[in-house]
Structure 1
Amino acid sequence: MDESYAFHANVTLTFAEPIDAPRSTAHLFGPTGEVAVGSPEQGANRGELVIPLRANLAPGAYRVEFIAVARSGRRLVGQSSIVIPEPGIARQPSASVSISATP
């Protein structure tokens, strides 16, 4: 039985400054290792970095590691934790973000 379910969406990271998506990178890691994601894209807001998921995610804890390059050239390095709940649990996936800037 496939334990993944209909959590097939995007991971969106929001920053206080405009992000240059083509120069940014992201990797997603889950319970069984690295998860395939598409190239980061610009969100509707210039401060959004959208990471498209290529497949449904099984319940569990995930970590997205990113290097977001601001349009000013500043690199924002960080990670975000995402928890996908078991099917039938009435709550939204949760996330937390940790970001540090490097010159």
Structure 2
Amino acid sequence: MELYAIRRRSAWANAEELEKAAGVSAKVGNEEMPDRVRWIRSYVVAEPDGRLGTICIYQARDIDSIREHARRVGMPGDEVEAIAKTVVVRSDPEEAAQAAG
């Protein structure tokens, strides 16, 4: 599987909507498409219009699998980019703080 970044702009009105979508997303990926997509992490973005968006990192067989997963979940999946290489300078701050505590 390859690594992909998905930008979902202004997709949710609030954190509750986002959490509900995340639950459906995990279920669809884990139960319906485990051999095609694997959700790695998401960064939640406060959008200029007051809504929430995300930048999601997935492993997937191909872009069509990412789009099919998004369709089944009912969320945007049009802005998808293949990740050529990962460069980690530092761990995500939250993860580093949790590991130290």
Whichever structure has more strand as a proportion of its residues is 1
Is TM > 0.5 for Structure 1 vs Structure 2? no
Q: So what's the TM-score if we normalise by structure 2?
A: 0.37
TM-score (norm 1): 0.37
Q: Please identify which structure carries the higher helix content.
A: 2
